[in-house]
Structure formats: structure tokens, C-alpha cells
Amino acid sequence: MTDEKWQAIIGNNSVYDGEFYYAVITTGIFCRPSCKSKPPKPENTTLFNTADQAISAGYRPCKRCRPRGLRVPDEEWIASVTDYIDRSISNRSLTLKVLADISHGSPYHLHRTFKRVTGLTPVEYIRQRRIGKAKELLLSTELSVAEAGACAGLPNASYFITLFKKITGLTPAEYRRLSGMNESEGLHDDK
């Protein structure tokens, strides 16, 4: 990447629109140079001569700058956000603002669209995924309850236990114990 193109990206210079497109490796999204989204890190940026090249390389068009001049369908946009959440579930800083920044939308529009498409708010979805991850860790590892919560993105043990019980009806320790008993009963039934 030349310094001129990098300056066009960080300066949101519309003069370069149509001359090249940039894709952000970490988000899987490509933009026009004039996109008003948060500037990417240079090491996470790839350039393309055309929008079709970016699409062929597996990148999705930005919802904010619409590099193809077309609106990205809401379902596709939200699928990219849920994919990012699923890959980053242990990241403690998954906020609506962060999700809006990586998906090139406004927090308000993302929240409203996410709820309409999935039936859940982004926060509810994140909580469900984190509790799912914690359940998996409680059953498949010897991690303490606090460690399982932290690995699932919920480092405050008290909050983790409260949220876990609210969602599952059991404390993490009860869940581990009862699930372990059910597995051993299942083993005895097979004999």
C-alpha cells in the first residue's frame, strides 16, 4: 500500500472512490476510501482495484459506505455480526459500540436490526453465547467456576454465577454436578 492510498483511507478522501477499495482482514468487510468508519490498522488492510475482486476474495460490502452502491441485506449484515460475536465470545469488550464499529453501522440501527432479525438484542445474544460457552467449559474441563466464567468472557465471578442461574435455573456448580450425574447414569444404562 502506498502512503498516498493510506492517507486517502484515513482522510476519508472521496477523490479516490472507484480507484481502489480497501478490505479489513479482521472484520471481513470492504469499503470505499471515503468511508467514515473507524480507520483500520494498516497491517489489517488489503487493497483491491474493484469491488468484485474484494467480493471474490470473500469480503462483504460495508453497510455504511455501500461500496457497490447497493444496500447489504439486513440478514447478511446481522449474520456477519453474529459470526464476529461467536469468534470473539471470550473478548470482554464486546459492546454495542464495538459491534457497530466493526460492522460499519450505527449502534442504534444495529440494535434495532439485530433484534428484528434474531429476536434478541445484541446483549441478550452475547449473554446466551457466553453461558453456552461456560456450560461447555464446565463439562469438558476441570476449570473452577470462576475460571470457566472468565474464559467465557464473564470475569466477575459473582455476576457470572447470578447470570448463569438466571438463564439455566442452576448455579454453575449445580449444573456441573447434575450434568456429570446424568452422564454417569447414561453410562450405566448402556451396560
Catalytic residues: 31
CB environment 5-34: b (16+ within 10 A), e (fewer)? bbebbeebeeebbeebbbbbeebbbbbbbb
- CB atoms < 10 A from the CB of 169, how many? 9
CA pair distance 50, 4, nearest whole angstrom:
18
Q: Which residues contact 111 (CB under 8 A, 6 or more apart)?
A: 96, 121, 122
Rg (CA), the chain: 21
CA pair distance 67, 59, nearest whole angstrom:
11
Q: Is 47 in contact with 1 (CB distance < 8 Å)?
A: yes
